[in-house]
Structure 1
Amino acid sequence: MIRVIVVEDEKPTLELMTLLIGRHPMLELVGAYTSPFEALERFAETRPDAAFLDVEMPKMGGIALAEKLKAIDGELQVAFTTAYPAYAVEAFRVSAVDYLLKPVTPDDLARVALRFGRSQEIRSALKSAAPSGKAPAVRCLGTFETRGADGRPMSWPTRKTEELFAYLLAYPDRLHGKWQLADLLWPELDEERALHNLHNTVYRLKKSLKTAGVGIELAHGNQGYRFRAQAGLSDLQLLREYGGSEPDTVAVAREAHERVLMLVKGELFAGKDYAWSAGLAVEVASQQAALTRRFAAKLRKSAPSLAKSLMFAYLSESPLDEEVNEELLELLAELGESALFHRHYTQYAERLGAELDAEPSAALRKLAARMNG
């Protein structure tokens, strides 16, 4: 269960949110307030995992309240409710999971609850993934978020500072020419001004990471910059390490299952619009698919439930992957799970038809016919 609080100064909306949360199987309401000050005062007592906050409240709005609550608990997940979609951009400045337009519907709440749940799963898996037992400081899959040594999400001084860090994470251990970086981030500016901006942004980046206690090495030479990161800094780094490995034994695959589970889902830098990352996102998706197939194949005979969970996790983000869908359906048929087989086959076939105007392979159609018989 995900423990949540609601802060909403309009009583009818508060009552509606209370009703919807009470009906949702994943959520447990531990506090409902019309006053943001009362919510802040009782935060340590309620210890929620997540909060639904109204953006427009007198004296203290939801965004200001979120900043105060996250200063107490950096792991708190926040979703905003608002009547004005223009607040969305500002809401994401404090790493909001989502925002809901009023009036909130059951489908809206279900969508956010699912995101809360996925985020909890990923964080739990990330903690077991790092050699030290701590989660990697940087999440690049399914989001882009950097946490300092105190566990709190970092706030970047500028968007370009964050984008430069993303680029360096994407292409570590290589020399990046200063003119190339300047043109990448400021293609609309003349060379001298773009280079001036680059120098300032590098300074801000190094200062921000040092203040947050995030260990990197960014060396400056005549030709440009070279970036090196500490081991286990990001989930992207872990994906690349696992992506090139083959589990030697089933025991190794079992032990790594939770770590692999959190690496096979989530688009690279999801929610960001970095023009340079489109090609890399395709490459990362290919690595996630390959990782899923390798570990599922190793687990298929002796630990089929783990193989299933791995394939379902991957397909939740990449539902049209033909090879993984075929492997999953073949496994379900082997296990005699006919109801799950037919449900998944139907969903896959409908999505193929709607999005690609195609149908499952002849082999899968033949298998489905056998399962029907």
Structure 2
Amino acid sequence: MFNAIIVDDEKPALDVLKLLLEKTGQICVVGSFMSAADALSQLQSLKPDVAFLDIEMSEMSGLELAGKIIEADGDIEIVFVTAYDKYALEAFRVNAIDYILKPFSSDDIAQAITRLKKVKPLPAVSQMPADKGRIYCLGRLSVYGAGCREAVKWRTSKTEELFAAEFEAITDAEIAFSAASIEKYKKALKLYKGNYLEENGYTWSQNKAEEYSQRYRGLVSELAKYYTTKTDYTNAEKILQKALTKAPLDDDLNEMLLKLFFMKKDNASLVMHYNKIKELYEAELGIAPNATLQDLFNRTFEL
């Protein structure tokens, strides 16, 4: 297994690259840094076989950092990562073994490792660390790869990943209500805490975030309809109100809630909610609520 360090002043890119590298089972990331100076200060103690360096960093360019690393230890191989392809010539002038363009892919990583093996064979079995990896479950979950001195830093909390997987499993099949499935769907709604990885700002997760959002809103809609047909207006209102805290500008959910108030003849709540979304639509979108929502509001005064 090769020991590697990563230097990138963008945290999301740093985390994604580390995850992809360790996923191969051939790279142990012994250090990840957002500062070139920090990486240089720990170079001798970490003794990496390869350094993955972002080229465009504010403190020190990856090209300059590569020169300093090679000066300190000529046996360390260099792989550059960057969002731009204009540095290819400069990269290979410092004898980099590969040049990976962002966003990263597993194929890019596999190619880099293949090139690394050509110039630096994997350590012999006798040199491999006896440590087979460790998982600590008491307190905070910590996972260490074989021989790694630094715990794996998940791109998000492991719990969040497991919740996302469970939410997807529940909502994969066609929605069908029964006494047993109701509890399952209610659990799915509780699992959905917000857009997938929204706090991390990863552009690569946006499609999955939108998919989960649509699944969530679809499940809310169907469950609210189910409760309404059972005249269980309390639960119908509860899940609609909860969903609207996550998607306050969703026309369909707002329409369902106004219709629910209309069916209950709860004019006060209808007017209050309409005025709330009217202000929100004007402030956020610069438009008035759509014609259907306006019609529901106007019909209140015809009763």
TM-score scaled by structure 2? 0.49
Select the structure of larger CA radius of gyration. 2
TM-score scaled by structure 1? 0.41
